[in-house]
Amino acid sequence: MNGDTGSDALLDLVREDLRGFGGYASARTYDLKGEVWLNANESPWANPADAGGASRRYPDPQPPALREALARLYGCRPGQLLVGRGSDEAIDLLVRALCVPGRDAVLVTPPVFGMYAVSARLQGAPLLEVPLVDGDAGFAVDLGAVAAAAEQGGAKLVFLCSPSNPTGGSVPLADVAALASRLAGRALVVVDEAYGEFSDQPSAITLMARHANIAVLRTLSKAHALAAARIGSLVADPALVRVLRACQAPYPVPTPCVELAVAALSDEALARTSARVAQVRSERARLRQALATLPGVVRVYPSDGNYLLVRFGDPGAAFDRLLAAGVVVRDQRAVAQLGDALRITIGTPDQNDRVLAALDAREAAA
């Protein structure tokens, strides 16, 4: 790594007042050995509802078995990975640790997942918006405009969602790398790969050896079907991971969730998850083709995620017809550039058939 892109330059991106901040020193902070643990005011007895007593003690802040399993899954080293309460928590930690309120901006590319803007607002960080461009191949990031706006607006964080929610497209890795080079020493480029499992494109984690100012968000909430367990990961330079850990809650991941996640990362469970992902991908192709033939459908965007963005001639009627059939989809009509669009999550084959039947105007008229 050269000086421009290494850990030292990266730590310069952290808020000055947080450099050297150690965070809360919990009972778990001290590496002591013993047999009788009377240092954390825990109960010596298990709760009657807690069979096995796994929840009696405070959890390890970053459980090694989970961290190692996630690192294996994502192809990084455990020291590069921070586990938290969903990737939502990692987004919030990044904004809080890097952005001085009223000064350091967060750049987003709307229409896009709303949590980046929410975290920026809560931190008092200026928000820079560089809209996606709606082209023949779908919505795409305007890389030149992003780089220029980030430089001019003093962005500390640039969030790229890839595959993007709700528009479905991926940001080419070469573009991520070029942006990271251009913004080295100025900003961290965060690639949110919440839907990475559904895409053919390799993870931006593969770029991190050359670009310390790239961080990647992953989650077990979507492809791994564990949204309620709230297990998200940030993969980043180990020096940045240490800074964020100091800013995080003392015990961020509950033991029952850790146990569930570790079980979900066994070879057998992962093989079954992969089969489900393949099924979603084939249903995505089928649904996209079928939707495109329906009369009221104006455009179905290509998608690398587990959802389709669809424009309708009469989006309100489509939404209502789906609702009348008991199918709830995500209304995008209040979103700039998406005034006629709905986002439809890929369901089971039966559920997808229900979507198609509800939307088929010819059937409704008959």
Ligand X SMILES: *Cc1c(COP(=O)(O)O)cnc(C)c1O
Q: By the criterion CB under 6 A, which residues form the site for ligand X?
A: 86-88, 113, 161, 165, 192, 194, 219, 221-222, 227, 232
Length of the chain: 366
The residue number whose beta carbon is nearest to ligand X equals 86
Residue 184 CB, nearest approach to ligand X (Å): 24
Asked whether 251 and 61 are in contact (CB, 8 A), the reply is yes
The nearest distance, CB 232 to ligand X, in angstroms, is 3
Nearer to ligand X, 192 or 283 (CB): 192
CB 298, min distance to ligand X, A: 24
Nearer to ligand X among residue 263 and residue 298 (C-beta):
263
Give 170 or 219: the residue with its C-beta nearer to ligand X.
219
Shortest Cβ 16–ligand X spacing (Å)? 29
Cβ-contact 343, 113 below 8 angstroms: no
Q: Which residue has the tokens 């709830």?
A: 328
**Least distance from C-beta 1 to ligand X, angstroms?**
28
Q: Is the dihedral of CA 225, 227, 229, 235 positive or negative?
A: positive
185 Rama sector, left if φ>0, alpha if ψ -120 to 50, beta otherwise = left
Smallest distance from the beta carbon of 268 to ligand X, in angstroms?
23
Rounded-to-integer distance, Cα 47 and Cα 60, Å: 19
- Give the CA distances from residue 9 to residues 98, 211, 241, 247, in Å, rounded to whole numbers and listed in that order: 13, 11, 15, 20
Cβ proximity to ligand X, 113 vs 319, nearer residue? 113
Strands of the sheet with 297-300, listed across from one edge: 297-300, 307-312, 341-345, 330-331
The strand pairing partners of 159, in sequence order, are 190
Helix orientation angle between 267-292 and 349-359, rounded to the nearest 10 degrees:
20
| Per-residue tokens: 141 | 């990031």
* Cα 233 from Cα 236, distance rounded (Å): 10
CB atoms within 10 A of CB 85: 18
Task: Kindly tell me which of 184 and 280 has the beta carbon lying closer to ligand X.
Answer: 280
Q: Which is nearer to ligand X, 26 or 345 (CB)?
A: 345
Cα separation values, 65 from 37, 62, 72, 82, 291, Å: 22, 9, 11, 13, 43
Q: How far is the CB of 206 from ligand X (least distance, A)?
A: 20
Q: Nearer to ligand X by C-beta: 96 or 222?
A: 222
